[in-house]
Copies of this chain bind each other. A is one copy, B any other.
Amino acid sequence: MNKMQVPIENHHFPWDHPRFRSWIAVARACQLMQQSLSRRLTHLDIKPPHLDILVNLYRFDGITQQELARKLLVGRSNMSMLLPQLEKRGLIERRGDARDKRVLRLSLTPTGRTLTEEAMEIQTALIESSHGGTPIEDCVKVAEAMEQIIATLLKEDDLPAGG
């Protein structure tokens, strides 16, 4: 409780603010994790964005492109670019809905499911190992802080890329 005692609250620069410094660390960690994950997925010939898609199809079978885009916080056009690639590779399927002829319902093929499980193991291993000595209870604290931020930003800001 007594480390680096600061006599006066002397916050002239952003990087002197505790919250600012904390957030910079979050952003850097995210960037490094993304890069590291990207390298570990090369032999599966997918990248983090594809994995995000696959994992969501793994959890939510039959989801639509719109719902998927909302979950991933990206634009619909993004899905329109990436999903045909995964479809051509035989990892996913897109079937039209009988009720609503606008939507395409997405699901994993057996090949896609196998690949997703393999990739998820890689991701889990990376996350576990990079957290090193950080105790679980601290991770829970982190999650709470992040959920707070997520909730705030989701309220303030409209979702990206409407149409």
Give A contacts to B, CB under 8 Å: 14-15, 17-23, 25-33, 35-36, 39, 55, 59, 73, 120, 123-124, 127-134, 136, 138-154, 156-157, 160
Contact = CB atoms under 8 A, between A and B. Distances in A.
12 contacts: A14-B124, A18-B136, A19-B131, A20-B124, A28-B146, A29-B150, A32-B150, A33-B149, A35-B160, A129-B152, A132-B151, A142-B142
Copies held by the complex: 2
A28 B73 contact: yes
A61 to B, nearest CB: 14
B22 A120 contact: no
A123 B17 CA distance: 12
Contact of A23 (B19, B127, B148, B156): B127
Nearest to A143: B22
A160 B18 CA distance: 28
A162 B32 CA distance: 15
A139 B18 contact: yes
